[in-house]
Structure 1
Amino acid sequence: MARIDYCDTSKSNERTKEILGKNRNANLFRMMAHSPSYFEQYCRLGGAIRHRGELDPVVRELAIIRTGILCEAPYEIVAHKRIGKNIGVTDEQNEALENWEAAACFNEVQRAALAFTDEIIRLRRPSDATFKAIAAKLTPAALVELQLAVGFYIMTSKFLETFDIDMQPVEQVV
Structure 2
Amino acid sequence: MARINYSDPSKASDRTREILDKNRNANIFRMMAHSPSYFEQYCRLGGAIRHKGELDPVVRELAITRTGILCEAPYEIVAHKRIGKNVGVTDAQNEALENWQAATCFNEVQRAALAFTDEIVKLNKPTDATFKAIASKLTPGALVELQLSVGFYIMTSKFLETFEIDLQPVAEVVG
Q: Gapped runs of 5+ residues in structure 1?
A: none
Amino acid at match of 2:4: I
1:92 paired with 2:92, answer yes
What do you get for the CA RMSD once the two structures are aligned? 0.9
1:148 paired with 2:148, answer yes
In structure 2, what is the equivalent of residue 67 of structure 1? 67
Cα distance in 1 between the residues matched to 2:10 and 2:125: 43
Cα distance in 1 between the residues matched to 2:169 and 2:4: 20
The answer as to whether partners of 1:79 and 1:170 remain within 8 angstroms in 2 is no
In structure 2, what is the equivalent of residue 81 of structure 1? 81
In structure 1, what is the equivalent of residue 27 of structure 2? 27
TM-score, normalisation: structure 2: 0.98
> How has the CA–CA distance of structure 1 residues 26 and 125 changed in structure 2, closer, same or farther, with 3 Å as cutoff?
same
Cα distance in 1 between the residues matched to 2:45 and 2:85: 22
In structure 1, what is the equivalent of residue 37 of structure 2? 37
Shift of 1:8: 1.2
Cα distance in 2 between the residues matched to 1:109 and 1:67: 17
Cα displacement string for residues 102-130 of structure 1 (whole angstroms, at most 9, x for unaligned residues): 00000000000000000000003100000
Shift of 1:173: 3.9
Percent identical pairs in the alignment equals: 84
Aligned pairs (5 A) from 1:85-164: 85-164=85-164
Amino acid at match of 2:136: A
Shift of 1:35: 0.2
Q: Gapped runs of 5+ residues in structure 2?
A: none
Q: 1:2 aligns to what SS in structure 2?
A: coil
Q: 2:165 aligns to what SS in structure 1?
A: coil
TM-score, normalisation: structure 1: 0.98
Shift of 1:89: 0.2
Cα displacement string for residues 117-172 of structure 1 (whole angstroms, at most 9, x for unaligned residues): 00000003100000000000000000000000000000000000000000112343
In structure 1, what is the equivalent of residue 48 of structure 2? 48
